[in-house]
Structure 1
Amino acid sequence: MIRLEQVSKSFKFKGKTHHVVRDVSFTIPRGRSVGLIGRNGAGKSTLLRLIAGIAAPDRGQIIKTASVSWPLGFAGSFHTALTGEQNVRFVARIYGKDTEALVSYVEDFAELGQHFRRPVGSYSSGMKARLAFGVSMGIAFDYYLIDEVTAVGDTNFKKKCSMVFHERLKESDIVMVSHSAGTLRQFCNSGILLEDGKLTFYEDIEEALQIHQSNMAERTRI
């Protein structure tokens, strides 16, 4: 379970204060894969970072009684002066995993060749994504946080990512941010609507998408 207790988070942009969530108490249950839906700029990615523990709330606390991944697609946590292998070893120690087993898995999965033992600062964005996805799939989490990315690389690598990801979802849940309604329908059965600093849970992803579309249409008319 992931529980937000009276959580508030805001940021300033062009001199104005924008609220991601305001005094929100909310539970994301186990057993449901949910799409996090909201307009551009609502703060969906920021909310994922809060849940992951990468960002801190202004007030309140986030209680996690299950293991939660970092946001897939977020490779900013890698230390650029360390090699891919060294970063994987660090992650293994942080999460209490078998270091050699995780290094072996990621090296095979990411297909970085000799670059695996070169500094991450020399990687292209695609190589960082491969490394991040490989590390994420190498650790079994109760919840996977997905920020727009479910597969990276060329066609064959994307097929491998998709296959492994679907295998993980047999035992795990996801919280997914995506601008693609089709992707949300493919992976999610429920939805959470982020609107004006509030979170609303919908058991059916279709209902969440319909209400979001209605809200966007209303904003357009205004």
Structure 2
Amino acid sequence: MILLEDVSKFYEVRGRGKRWILRDTTAVIRPGDRLGILGRNGSGKSTLMRLLGGVEYPTRGRIERRMSVSWPLAHGIGVHSSLSGADNARFVARIYEKPVEELVQAVDDFAELGDYMYMPVSTYSAGMMSRLLLGLSLAMDFDCYLIDEATSVGDQRFMERTQHILETRLRSRALVMVSHQPWHVRTFCETAAILHEGRLTFFEELDEAIATYEAL
């Protein structure tokens, strides 16, 4: 599980004081949970994902991880822009001690980048980058996947294929997905929370969470 105990996070904004991302948040994410976090653009959703993934640390409080957690999908964390997609896949394979060329092929098959798979990541569009990151993460076996709206990239066929893979994988895994689109959360999640003005409010009913979010 992932345990948050009295977690707060803020940044000092010059001339404006503190900008709060989280205030005194306590929560537990268990294996099998499928949690959607709704928030408007700029509400701090991506920062929250970095906190959950251990990329950033809280200002106060404690986050404990008792299961393996993916890096936040849709973020270029750990990807070297001067390397090709294939070389980045090889790098990840070596870190996680996976068969190198097998993982490269799996990412290539999923991302469908063609010749770009062997070109520097700096030449990728935003959509291509998201597809590479999705491929890298889904090629690995994590207990909990952190997804930041990455599944909305690509054409309808690619989105449907991504949804199918996620549905299959998540039968025995946890999911935390952040989005500003209610339909996105409804597609993949069973419960939801709203991040608004530093407060993370949890709802047992998905419909209640969506209705409350749309009323903000």
TM-score (norm 1): 0.86
Aligned length: 215
Instruction: Tell whether the 8 Å contact from 2:108 to 2:117 is kept in structure 1 after alignment.
Output: yes
Aligned residue type for 2:9: K
Indicate how the Cα distance of structure 1 residues 158 and 193 shifts in structure 2: closer, same or farther if over 3 A, else same.
closer
Aligned to 2:15: 15
Instruction: Tell whether the 8 Å contact from 2:31 to 2:172 is kept in structure 1 after alignment.
Output: no
Q: Within the alignment, does 1:35 sit opposite 2:36 as a pair? A: yes
Aligned to 1:3: 3
Indicate how the Cα distance of structure 1 residues 154 and 194 shifts in structure 2: closer, same or farther if over 3 A, else same.
closer
Q: Which runs of 5+ in 2 are unaligned?
A: none
Indicate how the Cα distance of structure 1 residues 42 and 170 shifts in structure 2: closer, same or farther if over 3 A, else same.
same
Indicate how the Cα distance of structure 1 residues 103 and 26 shifts in structure 2: closer, same or farther if over 3 A, else same.
same
Identical counterparts, % of pairs: 45
Residue range with higher mean Cα deviation, 132-141 or 146-155: 146-155
Between 1 and 2, higher relative CO (CA 8 Å, sep ≥ 6) is seen in: 2
Instruction: Tell whether the 8 Å contact from 1:152 to 1:161 is kept in structure 2 after alignment.
Output: no
CA RMSD of aligned residues (A): 2.0
Deviations 1:155-214 (A, max 9, x none): 332332222222212222211112222221221111123234333322221222233344
Aligned residue type for 2:21: V
For residues 46 and 187 of structure 1, what CA distance do their matches in structure 2 show? 21
Q: Within the alignment, does 1:206 sit opposite 2:174 as a pair? A: no
Aligned to 2:192: 191
Instruction: Tell whether the 8 Å contact from 1:7 to 1:60 is kept in structure 2 after alignment.
Output: yes
Indicate how the Cα distance of structure 1 residues 179 and 212 shifts in structure 2: closer, same or farther if over 3 A, else same.
same
Aligned residue type for 1:99: V
Give the CA deviation at 1:13.
4.3
Instruction: Tell whether the 8 Å contact from 1:130 to 1:152 is kept in structure 2 after alignment.
Output: yes
Aligned residue type for 2:4: L
Give the CA deviation at 1:33.
0.6
Indicate how the Cα distance of structure 1 residues 38 and 108 shifts in structure 2: closer, same or farther if over 3 A, else same.
closer
Deviations 1:108-150 (A, max 9, x none): 2212222222211122222212211111111122221121221
Indicate how the Cα distance of structure 1 residues 162 and 114 shifts in structure 2: closer, same or farther if over 3 A, else same.
same
Give the CA deviation at 1:105.
0.5
Give the CA deviation at 1:19.
0.7
For residues 197 and 19 of structure 1, what CA distance do their matches in structure 2 show? 5
Give the CA deviation at 1:76.
4.7
Instruction: Tell whether the 8 Å contact from 1:148 to 1:178 is kept in structure 2 after alignment.
Output: yes
Aligned to 1:51: 52
Aligned to 1:137: 138
